[in-house]
Chain A
Amino acid sequence: MRTQRSMHTKALLLASLAFVASTPASATSGEGDALAIRAEKLHVGDGTVIENGIVVFEAGVITEVGKAAPVPKGMVLIEHAGHLSAGLIALREHAGAVGESNDTTRAVMDEADLAFAYRPNHSEVQGLLEEGITTFVLAPRPGSLVGGLCAVAKTGSEVISRRAYLSICTGANGLTSNRFPTSLQGSQAELERRFSWPRGVFARAVKGELPVMLDGGSSRTEVQHAISFARRHGLKGILVGSTRLGEMAAKIRAAGLGVAISNYTPSTGRRVVEGALALSEMQVPFGFALGSPNGHPANLRLTAAACIRAGLKPSDALRSLTSTAAQLAGVADKVGSVQVGLAADLVLWSGEPTDPGSRVMAVYVDGDEVFRAEDDENGDDQ
């Protein structure tokens, strides 16, 4: 019974989403322009938690946050018996652009713009919302040396940055056997050439204006090459695509790079969590990658939970899922924290956000309620 109903709601939500997406962000829910939510615990995003905190937002932007934030008379105040946090951010994701996120016939697509591949009303995008993911970095799939410019997209809504990263594969992921380069020898010579006499996006990357998303490949030697490459050319940005990154934490820190942690899987799980702990210890900023539809959207939070189980502090994990990820993606001025002036991208949780047992009760993007768990009335939230 429940599944059936859920299916209905999903269909309805999809319809409404399509509407939201097609209209500008000024559209707000409810009858008034403003809304307030009081939650038992409000996770600001910088590590602080406000008991019985209130967040007020208007026209999609947060206007007040605090324990005693004034709620204007007549404004609807939603009481939430649970936790509230900023929407989660996935650092490397392909949802909504499947099949159009890369072109392996060309090795270098320096001006490719992933924003053009984004379809906000794609069914995969809905899956992200149900897991509380409100923002993600839309990245090309590996397959080219230079895959293009990554976009930062609001889930089911607009693109908020078209120049988040230049996506580069320094490892074997960028190779195919039927076009140049077929080998690491060739790819490294090509990348060396592009970055040693840089023009266009490469020049901006070398100047530090455009961060890079470096997919070194999965093996240790490829990661090593990626780090050396970034250092040699003074590149800033994040490393992705390997479970070996934690083993190189000191080198990554020395290179001033960040990391997007890969999904926890049965075969790589131990390395993923140990890597996260090593990165945390070396104070390397890291977020979490997702890479759906191959990975289920739930993996973002489950990977974080696995790291917590291995010893990562829950508050650090939540930061990596929200504010740190926003900083790494260059959109900390827009999303990632529950702060005045930032977008009202909020998730209401049944419990601790990083507890895998907690459920997403409601999701707001730009102040609009875009998802609500329909069996709320069962009262099974803690």
Chain B
Amino acid sequence: MIWTPFLHAACLTLCAPPLQDAPGAEPQEPEAPKAEPAVTPAADLRLHAERVYTGTGEILKNALIEVRDGKISSLRPGRSAPEGVLQVKAITAGMIDLSARLHSNFNSVEQSTEVQPHLDVAGSVNLYDKRFARLARTGVTTILVNPLDRNVIGGRGVALKTHGPMEVEARRLKGRPILRGAIGSEPSAANHAAFGRPTDFYSRRPTTRMGVEWEWRKAFFDAVAATRLPEKDFPGAEDLREALAGKRTVMIQAWTTQDIRTAVYLDEEMQREGFGDLDLVIDAGAEAWKEPAMLVRNSTIVVLPPHTARGRVGSDGAFFAWNTASHLVEQGLTICLSAHGAGPGPATLGHQAGFAMRGGLSFDQALAAVTSAPAAVLGLSERLGVIAEGMDADLALWNGRPFAATSRVTGVVIDGAIVVDPR
């Protein structure tokens, strides 16, 4: 240890209260040697749970979690709860919803042109929207906000914690960029033929599902063509080329099997043409169960919509069987679950995990589908999705077994802050 008398003196003069410890002295003897390692400074928050589902395949019994500076600083099983520590039945990592749909509706999508890959939804996000807090209360700690699917290519999504600073740029999670678009009836819903009202820009393509598909292909072909013909460059071309180069994920809403097909075939066409390989995520892939083989071939990740009583979901009338999640996982696919927003119904993301289990998914698979799998899509596996030392302290505290209908999230911790106190 280098600690010269000079430095010591300097330090003494600088610090108003004299130093307690002599330089180079041994650390103080801990008061209770067997309980706590001596050098551990006091944690910002300590939590004790009968069971901690880490998300790495482990269930830690009677575990103590310590949080410092918004991160999990230690995680130790087999401890009795120290005095005054927040105690709950179960803890999982905070849940992540990739299709939370907390956009500001028509303010989030620039409809003046149907392809807008260069726009960023961040500017339209309303952090004062009560739905953020509502989602947080259900144990969802991170969401992806995408533009409303009224454009073919709507723009770039933004990943956000559901609690934190009230400025989007301060809250934005810097992970993998995600480009959002849609296939199906929604992108053409507002458009019409040019009869009668030719002055209005909704009199344009696409007015059909075919037109939507054509716009997708045209966008990518034009973007590639513009590399050779700079005068053909257009706003967003660079974003599309980055998507082709695999530098950003392309997340496409496709409810029905023919829309999922279109998305996969688009990707395969880009590969055949030698343009690149899209990193494809299908959102709201309700009918993915019908043709899993092409998804396996393309290693596509699927985000599933919320389960409904009769199976019909979305504006395109897709049929979403309850075993879709388990079936896709059996095929080796990665899936994520989603609750599409924050109510008003009772079906939270936790319930969706339960419903997927009703369809045959195992608990561990269900947990992954609402935590680590979406974290990986966001490129944030280093920070989110599992409970381990060094990870963000985003935790869902449960009053019983997670995802059971008879239990619920009673407490929420985001970045080490207690957002919902279970006490």
Q: CB within 8 Å of B: which residues of A?
A: 172, 175, 177-189, 219-221, 224-225, 228
Q: How far is the CB of B153 from chain A (nearest CB, A)?
A: 12
Q: Please indicate the chain A residues that have their CB under 8 angstroms from the CB of B107 in the complex.
A: 172, 175, 183-185
Given contacts A178-B201, A221-B127, contact A185 B110 (CB under 8 A): yes
Q: How far is the CB of A275 from chain B (nearest CB, A)?
A: 16
Asked if B126 CB lies within 8 Å of chain A CBs, one says yes
CA gap between A12 and B271 in the complex, in Å: 82
CA gap between A220 and B112 in the complex, in Å: 26
Given contacts A178-B201, A189-B118, A189-B119, contact A183 B128 (CB under 8 A): no
Q: Which of B112-127 contact A (CB under 8 A)?
A: 112-113, 116, 118-121, 123-127
Given contacts A221-B126, A224-B167, A225-B123, contact A180 B112 (CB under 8 A): yes
Are A221's CB and B112's CB within 8 A? no
Which of A180, A219, A224 lies in contact with B166, CB distance below 8 A?
A224
Q: Please indicate the chain B residues that have their CB under 8 angstroms from the CB of A186 in the complex.
A: 110, 112, 116, 119
Given contacts A177-B106, A228-B167, contact A182 B111 (CB under 8 A): yes
Q: Please indicate the chain A residues that have their CB under 8 angstroms from the CB of B120 in the complex.
A: 185, 189
Q: How far is the CB of B123 from chain A (nearest CB, A)?
A: 4
Q: Give a binary string over B123-138; 1 marks a CB under 8 Å from any A CB, 0 the rest.
A: 1111111000000000
Q: Which of B167-208 contact A (CB under 8 A)?
A: 167, 169, 200-202
Are A188's CB and B201's CB within 8 A? no
Q: How far is the CB of A168 from chain B (nearest CB, A)?
A: 14
Q: How far is the CB of A251 from chain B (nearest CB, A)?
A: 9
CA gap between A186 and B128 in the complex, in Å: 20
CA gap between A228 and B172 in the complex, in Å: 15
Using CB atoms, name the residue of chain A closest to B121.
Answer: A185
Asked if B362 CB lies within 8 Å of chain A CBs, one says no
Are B201's CB and A179's CB within 8 A? yes
Q: CB within 8 Å of A: which residues of B?
A: 104, 106-113, 116, 118-121, 123-129, 147, 155, 166-167, 169, 200-202
Given contacts A183-B106, A183-B107, A185-B147, contact A219 B200 (CB under 8 A): no
Contacts A182-B110, A185-B124, A189-B120 supplied; 5 other A-B pairs, CB < 8 Å = A179-B112, A182-B111, A183-B111, A219-B128, A224-B167
CA gap between A220 and B132 in the complex, in Å: 15
Q: Please indicate the chain A residues that have their CB under 8 angstroms from the CB of B202 in the complex.
A: 178
Q: Please indicate the chain A residues that have their CB under 8 angstroms from the CB of B129 in the complex.
A: 221
Q: Please indicate the chain B residues that have their CB under 8 angstroms from the CB of A177 in the complex.
A: 106, 111
Q: Please indicate the chain A residues that have their CB under 8 angstroms from the CB of B113 in the complex.
A: 180
CA gap between A185 and B111 in the complex, in Å: 10
Q: Please indicate the chain B residues that have their CB under 8 angstroms from the CB of A225 in the complex.
A: 123
Q: How far is the CB of B102 from chain A (nearest CB, A)?
A: 12
Which of A180, A185, A219 lies in contact with B123, CB distance below 8 A?
A185
Given contacts A178-B200, A224-B166, A224-B167, contact A183 B127 (CB under 8 A): no
Q: Please indicate the chain B residues that have their CB under 8 angstroms from the CB of A182 in the complex.
A: 106, 109-112
CA gap between A224 and B169 in the complex, in Å: 11
9 pairs from A and B in contact (CB 8 Å cutoff)? A179-B201, A180-B110, A182-B109, A182-B110, A185-B108, A186-B110, A189-B110, A189-B119, A221-B128
Q: Please indicate the chain B residues that have their CB under 8 angstroms from the CB of A188 in the complex.
A: 123-124
Are B119's CB and A184's CB within 8 A? no
CA gap between A177 and B121 in the complex, in Å: 18
Using CB atoms, name the residue of chain B closest to A225.
Answer: B123
Given contacts A188-B123, A221-B126, A224-B166, contact A183 B109 (CB under 8 A): yes
CA gap between A224 and B104 in the complex, in Å: 15
Q: Please indicate the chain B residues that have their CB under 8 angstroms from the CB of A172 in the complex.
A: 107
Are B127's CB and A185's CB within 8 A? no
For the complex of A and B, list the 5 residue pairs with the smallest distance between their C-beta atoms, beginning with the closest. A186-B110, A188-B123, A180-B112, A184-B124, A221-B126
Q: How far is the CB of B343 from chain A (nearest CB, A)?
A: 20
Using CB atoms, name the residue of chain B closest to A188.
Answer: B123
Q: How far is the CB of B265 from chain A (nearest CB, A)?
A: 29
Q: How far is the CB of B62 from chain A (nearest CB, A)?
A: 43
CA gap between A184 and B116 in the complex, in Å: 13
Are A185's CB and B119's CB within 8 A? yes
Q: Please indicate the chain B residues that have their CB under 8 angstroms from the CB of A219 in the complex.
A: 126, 128
CA gap between A186 and B107 in the complex, in Å: 8
Are B112's CB and A189's CB within 8 A? no
Q: Please indicate the chain B residues that have their CB under 8 angstroms from the CB of A179 in the complex.
A: 112, 201
Q: Please indicate the chain A residues that have their CB under 8 angstroms from the CB of B112 in the complex.
A: 179-182, 186
Are B108's CB and A184's CB within 8 A? yes
Are B123's CB and A189's CB within 8 A? yes
Q: How far is the CB of A278 from chain B (nearest CB, A)?
A: 16
CA gap between A219 and B129 in the complex, in Å: 10
Are B124's CB and A183's CB within 8 A? yes
Q: Please indicate the chain A residues that have their CB under 8 angstroms from the CB of B118 in the complex.
A: 189
Q: Please indicate the chain A residues that have their CB under 8 angstroms from the CB of B110 in the complex.
A: 180-183, 185-186, 189
CA gap between A160 and B110 in the complex, in Å: 39
Are A185's CB and B109's CB within 8 A? yes
